Every structure is written in structure tokens, then in C-alpha cells.
Structure 1
Amino acid sequence: MTTSNLIKFDDVPLNKFHLKMTGITFAAHFTDGFSLGVIGIALTVITPQMGLSPFWQGLIGSSALIGLFLGSLVLGWVSDYVGRQRIFMLNFVLIATATFFQFFVQTPEQLFLLRILIGIGLGGDYSVGHTMLAEFLPRKHRGAILGSFSVIWTFGYVAASFLGVYLQSTLADSWRWLLVSAFPLAMFVIFYRIGSPESPRWLLRQGRTEEAHAIVKKYLGPTVVLDDETVAQGTGKFIDLFSRKLIKRTLFNCIFFMCLVIPYFAIYTFLPDILKTMGLSENFSTNMLLNALLVVGAFCGIWWTIKFSRRGFLINSFIFLGISLLALGLLPPSAKTLMIITFAAFTLVMSAVSNLVGVFPAESFPTDVRSSGVGLATAASRLGAAVGTFLLPMSIANLGMSYTLLWLTGTLVVGTIVSIAWAPETKTLTLSEASTPDKPIHSA
């Protein structure tokens, strides 16, 4: 076999194996979105039944996000040491078990603890799922496919809202059936993940060269070679994320991710209550419009990820979102039509730019610490989202809607500044090149 016949790992055409790995990772992300989406609609029923205070509403609403913080941080780090595939399976065993037992809860404390366990599993899946797929995908399709995580996640999130509305009108104890409805989805993911291979990039960095080549040959073909196989065996440690080489990448991914998801989760977890407070809930179609725009925006995000630079898409979206949310906080209650239009535009762009949270972290870190880096960025984002979601009901009750929207706008301003300063351009680079911190920020 001549050198001219060899194909680099990052340039291999998409095949059935890529599509299978994409499919089982997408199915997991649909379940992730669904599991997080059910709690908002379920709380509208749980609150009067259990007599929940704003404190407990916020705590239960943010419980899975607290778990996500823990799972992303710990399981992402663990997978850099024990491998991607083991955590890839373990995540959903935990999710399925905790989801099933939600049906039997009797107290807010029990539900809170189970939701934390679900979040731990989801956090591990965010870290390892993104990493696993990124380490298999060719660069030509990596951005579009990783960005599509947001579409699938949004479908799951919105599907939970629609199912919740249906179950509310047809079943007693509808919230129990709604919360446990994610169980079959989790079992489906477990079944199809059985037998999935380890990441050859990770194996290579552990010095397990023969195993890495065997996986590449089996799933991608005998003419495919790992493009980073000359790199020495990895010695990456979690602390390396804060080294001089990686600190800017680490801070950028943690902060931009956090600044996007704080308003996302805070607003859309309590969307029915927010629309009611803003006087926009008289017509049920407003809620459905915004949920539909989350889906439309996610599709737009795929196209914009392909068409525009990563850096430009992120910065311009932050600016637009900040202006839109500021306008929502300042508009008078009488300007309902303008408020709906502004809220709709905000929702569309927020959903679209959320595609980048599946792209930037996976492309920003070297193989040795990629899962740790993705995990840390996800953990930071979910910690921020948990705090924002916990505080939102109390903020609305004590400060009012306008001031609540204004402090949420502040997070978008911070995201804008950090992105202008540190966002890299990774669109046309191989995974090895993209995760090299000394590449110029503006390189295309």
C-alpha cells in the first residue's frame, strides 16, 4: 500500500459507523433535553399538590443542573483516565435507574435527590458524548454534526413541554407519568450503546497503539491512518487545563458556555410563569410559538455554523441577545405585540447559537485533557444555570420581571466581552490543529 493511498483520520469520508455513532449520541441528547424539559411543566402540577414554596420550586427546578455540574466535572475527568467507552455506558445506567424511581417519590426531598442523580448521568454524557463523537468525526463534517446536538436536544426539550400539556389534561398524577416517560428513552440508548468502541485517539495517547489501529481498521477501513499518531504518549492531567498554554481556552469555554445557558435555563424552565407575569399568557399560542422557535432556531444554527465563522457567529449572537433581552426588560406592559416579537427573535437566536456549545469545547482541548476540558466547561455552565434557575422564582417575586431580565442581560454582556477577547477560530482546522492553543485567535 503506497503512501498516496492512505487517508488521514480527519479527512476520511462519512460512513455507516460515523452515522451509527452520531445516531446513538443524538438519541442520548434527545433524552437529555427531554429529561431537563419535563421538570418545568411538571412543577406547575407538583407545586400545588406538594405546596412548594418559591425556594423549593427553584431547588427542584435546578436539581438536575446541580447534578450536571457534578457529573460533568467528575466523569469528564475520569474518562480521560479510564477511557471514553466505560463512562459512555455508565451514564445512562444511572439516568435510567433514577428516572424510573421518580414515579414513586412522596416528598420534595426525594425528588430533589433523584433529579441530582439524573443530572450526574447527564453531565457525564455531555462530557463524554461530545468528546467521543468529536474524536471520530472528520473535520469537514465535525462542526455541523456537533452543532446538531443542539437541534436534537431542543427537540427533546420541546417534546417534553408538549407531552406535559397532553398528560395534564388526561391523567391524574400526570407529573409522575411525565417524569418517568424518559425511562424508555434511556433504555433505548443503553441497548444501542452496547458494543461501541473506545476512542482510538484516546488509546493512542495511552500508548495502546495496536488497539487504536485495530479499531480504525475495523470501523473506518485499512487505508485510514491516525493523523496525530506521531504524538508522544499522553501525560495530561486535569491541572493542565489551567497551565499557561490552556488557561485562556479553559476560561473562554467555561465563561461563554455559562453566559449562554444562565438565561436559557432560567427563562425556559419557568416559561409559563414568566409569560403569565409579563401578561403574555392569555393566548396559549405564545407559549407554543416560543417552543416552536426553539426548534426552528436550532435548525438555523446548523446552517449558520456551516456558513459563518465560529467566532463571528458567537460574538454577533451575544450582542443581539443582549440587546433583545434588555429591550424586554425595558418595554412597558402595554407593548405586548412588540414584546412577543422581541421574545420570539431572542428565542430564535438563543436556540441557534446554542449549537456552538457542542462545537467549541470539543475542538478547544488536546486529546489528553479533552474530556476533562469539555467536562469542566459543561460543569461551569450547569453550575451557573443551576444558580440562575434557583434564583429566578425568588428574583421575580422580590425584584419584579424587569429587574430580573436586566441582571440576566448582564450575563450576556460578560459573554460578549469574553468572546471578543478569547474566542478562537477553529472552523477549517483538523482536531489536532484546533486544539493547539498557540494557533492565532483569528486564524481561519
Structure 2
Amino acid sequence: MFSTGKKIKVWKQGMITAAVFMMVYALIPVNALAQNEASLKVYQQLSDASKGKGDPALFETLNVVSRQLSWDSATNLQFKGNLRMFKMNGVSAASDKSTLFFVRQLDGKVYILSRPTETDDRYAGLEDMIQNKMVFNIESIDETVGGTNYHFARFVEKPSQAFLDKIFKISIVLMLFFVMVGMGLTLTRKDFAIVFSKPKGMLLGEILQFGVMPLIAVGLGYVMGFREHYPYIFVGMVLIAATPGGVTSNLMTHYAKGDVALSISLTSISTVLSIIFVPLLLSAYCSNIPEVIIPVNMITSTIIVLVIIPLAIGMLVRAKWENFAKKSIKVFSILGIIALLFLIIAGISSNLDKFADTERYGLVFYIMVFIFTLGGMVAGVVIPRLFGVSNFQTRAISLETGLRNSSLAMAVALLIQDSMGDFYSSLFFVSAIFGLTMYLAGL
């Protein structure tokens, strides 16, 4: 039977998913629904130039023009957005010819950044600003260059990281850290030793999780057109497919009268393997998408900090002080719940005027996520049975395949989305919707 601590932890994971689902509205601005078509064309033009297409002198031309502008009639603007940088492929040194910085407003509007040649504190550490959503105070002016109208901007003051964005990230990091420490407190060596006592079930379970599920996600993304039209939704599907199972699958296996010991072991092993497979699968299936850059080092370090280290801490405490560990499970559950309540309050207060992007996330999107979840569970039944695995173990494998650690996927998505250029939080939204869908499918 499951302990009270584990049930609380599973309930907490479900509530975390629901809370983050509300948060996603705060991260996807309503203005993003009506994309600025002119800016989209400019963005694509700049992207093409960075890949050696179009005018090879475009970056240098825009950088030079931006410094020659008269700012007397400029308009002062304040907004949230992202600082981005395009760099010519194959060029390491930054110069006017090879590098162009621009500010992208949350509604998609693009401003070419005018950078002074002399030292200016407002522009110090530009590349560090790329990692986060920022608050900008700029002067803007329009100018036509080569027949194309561009919005140019210069900083009135140095941009600062958006306060709520910073709070969301810190809260999710702490929340997931506590959850993973709590998971570690429940694990023992026996959970890993089952690899040798039930090798067939373990091997098939891991192949389904890190082999079959990503293929299903990629196939659905291609067939339903998301890879071509909304590549970051496609990347989000691969991310959730590469994510290991979570505590939810263990509880569902218990209710389904499946092999709980196998389920727990699959979760433990896949969680450890995630440090390899999450960046590997994202790179394998998404790195050839032109506008997508997979930050492998950032993903790996995120998993080490948020998964491996807290899991190891929890297991170490369990091994050294078992009684203390059992009592601490409740403490970490309470800490996680406190973080959860904060997220709920912050999420509701921040998204009163927000709603989902029905153009980007229409009926086809929800159908895709549901088919992905259900398809994984069906594959988790059919394939083990073909290899002669018992019904008892098959139930565990099926649920472990279809139900993932959506909290981990959301945390990774939130931390890498700005550096990837995922301006509409598609990775985060996909993970949140999957988290809700998998609970329905698991029932």
C-alpha cells in the first residue's frame, strides 16, 4: 500500500500541474494572439540573413543606420519583452557585420537595437540579458532601409528582469527541488536492484519511455503540421516525451493492481537517465529545425540541479537516517504545498485578463496531446504483451509509459524558453496541457 506521505506527494503533483496550467496564461500574453505581420517578416528576414541567405551586408547596414538616426522625434515606450541576438553562421567574433541585437515585444513587434560604439553602462552585459524576459524602457523611431520599414530602438535605461518572471522561475525551481528530495527520501537500493530481478519488464519499460514515446510525439507533430507551422509546440511534444515518469504513475499502478515495485523502479531509473536522454532526444529530433536552438548545456545543468542532486540528497538521507527520512517526507510535502499555494495566488492574480491562444492551441492541438497520452499507454500494453510480459507487469509499464513527470517538463521549459526564443511559452503550455490530460487518461 502507499503511505500517506506518498499520496500527499501525488496529490501535490496533480495540484502543481493545475496551478502551473493557470500560470501559463500569465506567461502567454493576450496580445500575442494578434501577431505583428510586418515584424514577423522582419524577424524572418533577419533569421535568413544569419543563415547566409539574402543580403550579406544587412546586419552591418542596420547597425550603421541605427547610429546615424536623429532621435529628436522618437517615441518613448515601456514594455516587457526579450532581447535577442542574430549572429552569422560560422562567425565567432562579434561585429557590426556578423551580429545584430534586437528587442522583441511580447506581441511580436521587433525593434532593431541601436548600440553605441562607446562604452555605455545601459548596454553592459547584453548577452546575459538574452536569458530572461526583461522590462524595457526605450526610445523608438521608424526608418526605411532598402525598401523595408524597420523599428529602431535605443535604451533609455538599462533593462531589468521582469519581477513576476523572476518569481515564477525561483518558485518553480524550489518547488521541484523539494518534490525531488521527497522522491529521494522514499527510494532505497532495492528500487534499483529490481533491474536484475525483472530485466525484461525494466528493459521494455525504458525502451517505451525513451524510444517509442518520442517517436509517437515526432510522428504526431509532423502529421498534424505543428513542426512546420508551430515548431516550438513540436519541441514541447518532444520534451514531454523525453521526460521520465513521475510519482503519479506509481499511484495509478497501485490502483490498477499492477506491479508497483516495477513502476517505482522504472520511475527511479528513468529519472536518473533523464540527464542523458532529455538533451539527447531534443537535439536528435529538433536541432535541424532552422529557428530552434537547443541549449544542451543549460538543459543538462538544469536536470542536474533540479533532479539528480535533490534525488541524491533524499536517497542519502534515507540511507543514513531512515527514521528521520520517513518523518521528513511530510515536511517536504508541506513545503511543496506552500510553494504551490503561492503559485496559485500569483497565477490567478497575473492572468485575470489572459486567455489561451486558440489559433495556436486549437482543437487539433488538444486532440494531438490526448492521442499522444493514450497512444503511449496503448503501446505500453501491446508491446510488453507481444514479448510475453505478464498482465501484472504490463499494467505498470503501460502507466509508466503514458504518464510523465510534467512538473519537471514545465520547470525545464520555463527555464530554457527565453534562451531558445520560445516567445509564446509553447514548451511550457504543451507540458501543462499534457499534465492535465494524463490525469484524465490515467483514470
TM-score scaled by length of structure 2: 0.28
Between structures 1 and 2, the one with greater strand share = 2
Between structures 1 and 2, the one with greater helix share = 1
Compare CA radii of gyration and give the structure with the larger one. 2
TM-score scaled by length of structure 1: 0.28
